[in-house]
Chains A and B, each alone.
Chain A
Amino acid sequence: MGLGLLASRTLRSSSRIFHNNGPTTHFLRTITSTPDLNNADASASAVQQPDLPPRNPVGGARVHFPNPEDAIEVFVDGYPVKIPKGMTVLQACEVAGVDIPRFCYHSRLSIAGNCRMCLVEVEKSPKPVASCAMPALPGMKIKTDTPIAKKAREGVMEFLLMNHPLDCPICDQGGECDLQDQSMAFGSDRGRFTEMKRSVVDKNLGPLVKTVMTRCIQCTRCVRFASEVAGVEDLGMLGRGSGEEIGTYVEKLMTSELSGNVIDICPVGALTSKPFAFKARNWELKGTESIDVTDAVGSNIRIDSRGPEVMRVVPRLNEDINEEWISDKTRFFYDGLKRQRLNDPMLRGPDGRFKAVTWRDALAIVAEVMHQIKPEEIVGVAGKLSDAESMMALKDLLNKMGSNNIFCEGNGMHPNADLRSGYIMNTGISGLEKADAFLLVGTQPRVEAAMVNARIRKTVKATNAKVGYVGPAADFNYDHRHLGTDPKTLVEIAEGRHPFSSALKNAKNPVIIVGAGVFEREDKDAVFAAVETIGKNNNVVRPDWNGLNVLLLNGAQAAALDLGLVPESDKCIESAKFVYLMGADDVSLDKLPDDAFVVYQGHHGDRGVYRANVILPASAFTEKEGIYENTEGCAQITLPAVPTVGDARDDWKIIRALSEVAGVGLPYDSLGAIRSRIRTVAPNLLELDERQPATFSTSLRPEVSQKVSETPFTPAVENFYMTDAITRASKIMAQCSALLRK
């Protein structure tokens, strides 16, 4: 007997003295795989212990009792818990603070009950029951750590591992794999099967999801996700028994904007991220909790980085915004952060080529030019990825220079920044779930804000809400009625002449969603007036319910309007002599005079750079701390995950430095100071992670005399995968758009 073994035996026996007054004959674990079976009476006596230590629900779960009378009491390991009727045994155990091992159960998907990992013992039932599928009944006595339950789990593990390959060392899931963890916790330490393992042909699901189907344990989570949440019937289960496989019935790619989420829900390494394959192991990554800014949803993400490189992006739970999903754009655009980056201040020489200069020289030149130009000819444009701090600084700088021509791209030239309810999503994203009729005006949520679309789909699926859509022909993944393509249809609905009006009228909580693409239209005010009439006629705006929503397109829009980034004249670009582009790439500069001086401050060499005279390199949102407000009016903050590239600086710092060089020094030189300045303008931007609803005031709007035109609505987003400088630089997004076009 080795020394170590001796030592452990002494340790064991001494610890028994303190913790156990049961039988004292104990065996060292030798061959038998369930030692507690030999110890049955000891664990049985534990159940009768009078004083149980209080337990906390798993993951801080809270129970909501819709109806107090419906509460029932069950006993989990002898510990009584109150739960609402209709909860499953597994949920009851979670409330009691017992985490039940599971593979197929997922709280946001339907219950399949096919993995059998969640078996628990219930008193008076002859066999262990699958807790995820069994409703809890009053007075049920559930036992989660009895020898029978343990033996059942061990058996299930053994069967699962029978056909699961032993390739953890080369598996990307290794380290965050449910199967790995649970076989450590519940599995037997040796196998008894000596036959060959089965193997399954890998499927091609496109450029995002890598499959190793031999690893699949047939939990069907991915199938249920695709059909229930993503709304595409692409995946399915083929074959029976040991021939069972997950696949697309015919050779087909997964055509969903949410397909990346199957990577997260797959409990094993069968579905993993293709761009991340073999790039890093998850335990070497540093996670930074941040916000996605590539659309106006502000999905909560975790940026996993290694050294100076962003390795992957995964979702974070936020029930009010993205639940636990993110769109494919959010998940996979990150390789764009490594391409086309601007890393040195640059100046365009007389020969039209850029040459690198020092910050000193670059700022001195910009300051000098700025002073030679009449104030009203100075224009500032904030890009769609700008944070609130830098927009505040830019506005202050321009104001100090005497100009008031500043706007944020995407907001159009006549933004309505006075009434907050006129540009945010008044129901909130989670509030959409209460709606029972939707009218989508010139917006295509599936490409404009995939997470909002997922909410609408969830609602439509749960409550059979009716969806009417006015806009160009588009692809929806839920039942809808295409009512028309131009604003005339709106007038018809407003006047009650349209068949859809009755659907709206009968709805309890009707919702109207106007796309931000409308901001750029000539007849924007008339469209909004028509929408408001519809709202008034159908009780959309009531004291307890404001269903008049605007769905914004970009991460910067809401904050820009809150901060009052409104141009003084709508012809400012045509008459500009000095344009300051702060990451603005999509603003049209065709009408800009040829002799205008253009400064581009940004992180990517994208469209804005073509016309620029000076380039000031800035940091991307993964590299700085910044406040972004999403479309429902919830301010959130990004945190730096990786260092900046080259000689780049944070956006607000560049503007602050420029102001000093230009001799109009801004009065803040820290993030804290600039935020107190924001507090005086838009205090709601500092209420982080808390949705700030607009105060009701739609009725204050001036009367509009404008008539709606007959120009049909145009799609606001041409290509879901490439909407901004970062995503346009990404190779993965380019592959996706190539597939999209096919």
Chain B
Amino acid sequence: MAHIMLKKLKVPANSGSLEEARSRTFEFFRMCCRSIPHIMEIYNLYDVVTPSQLRSAAAAEVRKNSNVTNPKVIDMLLFKGTEELMNIVNQSKQRHHIVGQYVVGNQGLVQDLAAKDQDTSNFLKNFYGSNYS
């Protein structure tokens, strides 16, 4: 199974070219997708999220860095991604970490933004944000 495979994971050698880095990225993403059913299982996520939502969360994380072209940087990001995946699959994290980072997302629970605030001043926007800004 995927998580057993992950445990034996080694840090790969540097990618020689952008092509190689690209294919590694895909490989990494597939690995993520393969571990999702297991993740759903061990963190008991069925009532908060579906596998496809988690997949798009993972894809969004990858797309965040779509502008990177330096293979060395890509390697580093892949390394961090693998580490994160390993942490998740090994259950080094807890349920609320997964829910917080990949289900609810960075926006937090408050999502009634936008629209209403269009014509307000910066002061009011900051005021709604926090006391310190």
Contact = CB atoms under 8 A, between A and B. Distances in A.
B1 interface: no
B131 A360 contact: no
Interface stretch (B20-28, B44-52, B76-84, B116-124): B116-124
A656 B131 CA distance: 13
Contacts of B127: 359, 649, 653, 656-657
B128 A360 contact: yes
B132 to A, nearest CB: 8
Q: Indicate the member of B120, B121, B124 with the most A CB atoms within 10 Å.
A: B124
A650 B121 contact: no
Nearest to B113: A360
A660 B120 contact: yes
B4 interface: no
A725 interface: no
Given A358-B110, A360-B112, A360-B116, A648 B124 contact: no
B131 A661 contact: no
A330 interface: no
A708 B35 CA distance: 88
Contacts of A360: 112, 116, 128
Contacts of A359: 127-128
Given A358-B112, A360-B112, A657 B131 contact: no
A101 to B, nearest CB: 45
A359 B123 CA distance: 14
A35 interface: no
Contacts of B124: 657, 660-661
Contacts of B123: 656-657, 660, 669
A404 interface: no
Interface string A615-636: 0000100000000000000000
Interface residues of B, number: 12
Contacts of A669: 121-123
Contacts of A619: 131
Nearest to A660: B124
A659 B120 CA distance: 12
B97 to A, nearest CB: 23
Given A660-B123, A660-B124, A669-B123, A649 B131 contact: yes
Interface string A202-236: 00000000000000000000000000000000000
A619 B121 CA distance: 22
Nearest to A669: B123
A641 to B, nearest CB: 14
B131 A660 contact: no
Nearest to B116: A360
Interface string A570-608: 000000000000000000000000000000000000000
A650 B131 contact: yes
A360 B132 CA distance: 17
Contacts of A358: 110, 112, 128
Contacts of B116: 360
Contacts of B110: 358
A665 interface: yes
Nearest to A646: B131
B121 to A, nearest CB: 6
Contacts of A665: 121
A322 interface: no
8 contacts: A358-B128, A359-B128, A643-B132, A653-B131, A656-B123, A660-B124, A669-B121, A669-B123
In the A-B complex, the 3 residue pairs with the smallest Cβ-Cβ separation, listed nearest first, are A669-B123, A657-B127, A649-B131
Given A649-B127, A661-B124, 17 more contacts: A358-B128, A359-B127, A359-B128, A360-B112, A360-B116, A649-B131, A650-B131, A653-B127, A653-B131, A656-B127, A657-B123, A657-B127, A657-B128, A660-B121, A665-B121, A669-B121, A669-B122
